[in-house]
């Protein structure tokens, strides 16, 4: 992480007022039936959680308009649900009444610069820019509008950027590349590449946040830190001070998306990253780019799930091999895909999964296709030790191969969703039970053993897959009846408790939103939840922003 280079460390920050604009001039749909009829997609996200209606749907185009909306809603005592690309899986953008504020028009790239101290290329963009666009621009070195409307300094940096032989990319890869940058920062999104590059937090260097008051905080990384007593002071434009006391709990030593970030002497920017929009709307972000090197995607088939776990543990220990990601398909997952291949081979898009494959581990390594003497002897040894060979693998490095392999990684959750959708036709109350638990490295074997012994005894239909490199295996229970669903829910609770007991988290990447709060009490005590609530009350005293996200809605 960077440290602020041009000033002393501070504990106080001042929020700025933004120019006022006429609220009435802001585009708004203020008719619930019209919202339901013509703008229904703004009422849901990928979680498919049922909404509770909305009185207004706003489409601000800039911070001035957003501020006017916040002030007006604050005055009218109307809550605000922030809406980006609505790709979240925990209902964060699903309105529980009040107003929806869509930030989709905050879709411009604002700047590009090279930081000589950190030796990083940095891109500044508005929150509505998608991760797909950001990556395309970074890799193709063409940022729309910057070459015409950017400052002279930006234009000079852009020329320099184009001249470099190196290709750069933005490492966070939350699977859904249509996700808005702001949403990924607000949820500290992670994904397969988190194994090598960490979650979104690691790549955010600067943000602008609009608070519920309609004033803006500008927070570079490395400038504002908590006092030894764990406090920040926010001074508004009229000089009023607010003390924000950060929670005292210790965050799990795993990939984590549950709970407000807290650490001794923490950076203020980290309080907002992953806070799921309950403290403010992140409007602009500066992120760092990473050098791109050509990978080869490998799907290594193994003789059992236990051997796959063994393979991952050994691979992680071998420091000379540096995978970009390590992902997993369990034996049941491969069986489900074999079945899918017989029904619709095009969906899976791969040759028949070999009969000998009883488990699979996906990993990407750096690979130079021009090099004749690539040395993978150590990898071969590990593979052999785990009862397989490099012949028992699929591999590819051309762009079309990489895309094909990535699709293959995603086809399983899509297949599970299709099965559930089919079953819902007969039992509408049915839904998928998908875990998002992660544990520290030492506990991978133990948690896998725990999962499988309980699931096999229960006789449920299930698959295991996902980010095994971060000990973050998604278990999807696919209930065939309501009875099985109830059974599955109890099992999910058991898994969550076990993960937390092992030092892990109840939500490694999906966040908490509105639908994972039921697991919150497993991970946080009442006192700790109160500490989170205190931060919310300090930053958003009327609890206007994102009601129902992370924290329960308080009765007024």
Q: Which residues bind another protein (CB under 8 A)?
A: 37-39, 41, 140, 176, 178, 296, 298, 300, 345-346, 348-351, 369, 371-374, 376, 389-401, 404
* Residue 220, beta-bridge partner list: 206
Residue 106 near residue 283 (C-beta atoms within 8 A): yes
Give whichever of 265 and 384 is closer to another protein, judged by the CB atom: 384
Burial class for 325, CB neighbours closer than 10 Å (0-12, 13-18, 19+)? buried
CA distance 392 to 308: 13
Shortest CB 344 distance to another protein, Å: 11
- The dihedrals phi and psi of 328, each to the nearest 5 degrees, come to -140, 140
- The dihedrals phi and psi of 491, each to the nearest 5 degrees, come to -65, -40
Shortest CB 419 distance to another protein, Å: 16
Shortest CB 471 distance to another protein, Å: 24
Rg of the chain over CA atoms, in angstroms? 24
Give whichever of 395 and 542 is closer to another protein, judged by the CB atom: 395
Give whichever of 42 and 492 is closer to another protein, judged by the CB atom: 42
**Two tokens, residue 447:** 């948690």
Give whichever of 350 and 458 is closer to another protein, judged by the CB atom: 350
Give whichever of 162 and 248 is closer to another protein, judged by the CB atom: 162
Shortest CB 20 distance to another protein, Å: 31
**Two tokens, residue 4:** 């602020």
Shortest CB 380 distance to another protein, Å: 8
Residue 294 near residue 166 (C-beta atoms within 8 A): no
Give whichever of 99 and 298 is closer to another protein, judged by the CB atom: 298
* Residue 467, beta-bridge partner list: 472
**Two tokens, residue 550:** 């992370």
In the chain, the N- to C-terminal Cα span, in Å, equals: 41
Give whichever of 76 and 381 is closer to another protein, judged by the CB atom: 381
Q: Which helix (H) or strand (E) holds 81?
A: strand 80-83
Shortest CB 452 distance to another protein, Å: 28
Give the SS3 label for residue 346: helix
CB atoms within 10 A of CB 375: 9
Shortest CB 417 distance to another protein, Å: 10
Give whichever of 44 and 266 is closer to another protein, judged by the CB atom: 44
Give whichever of 348 and 523 is closer to another protein, judged by the CB atom: 348
* Ramachandran class of 432: left when φ > 0, alpha when ψ lies in -120 to 50, beta otherwise: beta
Shortest CB 139 distance to another protein, Å: 8
Give whichever of 37 and 116 is closer to another protein, judged by the CB atom: 37
CA distance 109 to 89: 26
* Residue 81, beta-bridge partner list: 100
Residue of 424, 417, 415 lying closest to 480 (CA atoms): 424
| Residue 174: DSSP 8-state | -
Shortest CB 478 distance to another protein, Å: 20
Shortest CB 454 distance to another protein, Å: 33
């Amino acid at each position: 992480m960077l440290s602020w280079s041009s000033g002393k460390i501070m504990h106080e920050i001042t929020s700025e007022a933004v120019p006022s604009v006429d609220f009435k001039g802001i585009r708004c749909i203020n008719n619930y039936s019209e919202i339901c009829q013509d703008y229904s997609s703004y009422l849901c996200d990928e979680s498919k959680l049922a909404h509770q209606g909305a009185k207004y749907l706003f489409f601000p185009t800039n911070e001035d308009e957003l501020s006017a909306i916040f002030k007006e809603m604050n005055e009218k005592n109307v809550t605000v649900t922030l809406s980006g690309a609505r790709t979240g899986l925990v209902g964060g953008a699903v309105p529980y009444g009040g107003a929806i504020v869509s930030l989709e028009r905050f879709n411009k790239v604002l700047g590009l610069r090279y930081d000589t101290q950190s030796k990083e290329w940095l891109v500044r963009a508005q929150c509505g820019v998608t991760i797909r666009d950001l990556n395309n621009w970074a890799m193709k070195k063409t940022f729309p509008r910057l070459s015409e409307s950017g400052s002279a300094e930006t234009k000079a940096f852009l020329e320099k950027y184009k001249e470099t032989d190196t290709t750069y990319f933005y490492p966070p890869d939350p699977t859904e590349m249509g996700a808005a940058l702001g949403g990924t920062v607000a949820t500290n999104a992670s994904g397969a590449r988190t194994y090598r590059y960490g979650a979104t937090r690691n790549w955010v260097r600067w943000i602008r946040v609009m608070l519920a008051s309609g004033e803006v905080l500008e927070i570079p990384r490395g400038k504002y830190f908590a006092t030894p007593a764990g406090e920040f002071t926010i001074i508004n434009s009229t000089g009023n001070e607010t003390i924000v006391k950060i929670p005292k709990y210790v965050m799990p030593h795993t990939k984590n998306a549950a709970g407000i970030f807290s650490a001794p002497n923490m950076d203020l920017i980290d309080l907002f990253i992953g806070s799921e929009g309950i403290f403010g709307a992140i409007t602009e972000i500066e992120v760092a780019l990473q050098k791109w090197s050509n990978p080869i995607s490998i799907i290594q088939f193994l003789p059992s799930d236990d051997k796959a776990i063994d393979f991952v543990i050994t691979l992680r220990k071998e420091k000379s091999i540096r995978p970009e990601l390590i992902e997993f398909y369990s034996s049941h997952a491969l069986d489900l895909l074999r079945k899918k291949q017989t029904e619709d081979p095009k969906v899976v898009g791969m040759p028949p999964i070999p009969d000998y494959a009883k488990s699979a581990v996906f990993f990407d390594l750096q690979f130079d296709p021009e090099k004749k003497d690539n040395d993978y002897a150590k990898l071969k040894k590990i593979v052999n030790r785990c009862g397989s060979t490099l012949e028992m693998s699929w591999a590819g490095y051309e762009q079309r191969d990489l895309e094909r392999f990535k699709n293959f990684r995603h086809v399983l959750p899509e297949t599970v969703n299709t099965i559930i959708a089919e079953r819902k036709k007969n039992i509408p109350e049915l839904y998928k039970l998908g875990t998002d638990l992660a544990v520290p490295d030492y506990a991978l074997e133990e948690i896998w053993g725990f999962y499988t012994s309980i699931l096999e005894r229960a006789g449920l239909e299930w698959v295991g897959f996902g980010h095994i490199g971060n000990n973050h295996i998604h278990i999807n229970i696919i209930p065939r009846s309501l009875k099985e669903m109830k059974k599955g829910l109890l099992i999910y609770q058991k898994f969550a408790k076990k993960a937390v007991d092992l030092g892990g988290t109840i939500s490694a990447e999906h966040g908490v939103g509105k639908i994972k709060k039921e697991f919150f009490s497993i991970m946080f005590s009442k006192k700790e939840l109160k500490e989170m609530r205190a931060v919310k009350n300090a930053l958003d005293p009327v609890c206007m922003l994102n009601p129902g996200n992370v924290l329960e809605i308080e009765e007024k």
